Amino acid sequence: MPYAEFAVRVLIVTVFLTAAVSKVSSGRSFAAFTASLGRLDVLPGAVTRAAAVAVVAAEWLVCALVLMPWPRPAGAGLALAAALLVVFAVAITRVVARGTRAVCRCFGSASREPLGVRHIVRNVLLAVLAASAAWTSTLREPTSLQPGALAVAGLAGLLVGGCVAALDAVVELFRPAGPVDSPHTARPRRSPDGTGGTGGTGGTGAAGRARQPRLPVRPGR
């Protein structure tokens, strides 16, 4: 299925290109990504920066290979993408298993949600798609493709890739809002004398004073 393969290629490029650009868009973005890797506590602190550089370089390499029109380089890029996604899924699984509510700036400032099960599922599904497309690209023989169908497949991959990259924003958008205080919240009634008491036993209002026993007065000597 060359059109499905092309859609997956566009999907993978969209996801990896968004991730790579968001990390290197500024020095602050790359520093935030490097710091987030350190907070995940899956790598020694001494190699955190080197790992961040390696991740970004691998993401750019995936994009360059998958965008090539020849099947073999594109298949190699898809295989590399699948391997990276599996590594990411394993690292996130370790973080979630420890109960660490860490945030990985994988997509720059758009990543603000703590890592969870949905991030593992996302990476596993992407890895399966990338591996399947890599396999079919090596077996597919050159055929003539319809430009219209190819454009539709590319648009589908672009839209799905954009949704995958914005997963945290989409989840936050559809998350139920918390309880809102009603403006008609009942307030305690004021006592008749305006002191704010409830008029109960031992209160400071007039009713409370009326119920207090009076001490007998002895006549003076």
Concatenated DSSP letters for 157-185?
A: HHHHHHHHHTHHHHHHHTSPPPP---TT-
Q: How many whole angstroms separate alpha carbon 79 and alpha carbon 66?
A: 10
- Top pLDDT among 54 and 108 is at 54
At 110 the pLDDT is 62
**This model's pTM is above 0.85:** no
128-181 residue pLDDT tens: 999 999 998 777 666 667 888 889 999 999 999 999 888 877 776 666 665 555
Give the mean pLDDT of 78-100: 93
| pLDDT tens string 29-62 | 899 899 888 888 888 888 999 999 999 999 999 9
Structural contact between residues 172 and 24, judged by C-beta atoms closer than 8 angstroms = no
Distance separating alpha carbons of residues 90 and 109, to the nearest angstrom: 23
Q: Residue 92 pLDDT > 50, yes or no? A: yes
- At residue 184, does pLDDT exceed 60? no
- Can you tell me the mean pLDDT for 178-186? 51
Has residue 189 got a pLDDT over 70?
no
What is the reported pLDDT for 146?
A: 83
- Compute the distance between CA of residue 56 and CA of residue 61 in angstroms, rounded to an integer: 9
Query: Looking at residue 160, what is its pLDDT?
Result: 93
Average pLDDT over the chain reads 80
23 has pLDDT over 60: yes
Q: Give the pLDDT score at 81.
A: 97
| Residue that the structure tokens 């699948």 belong to | 82
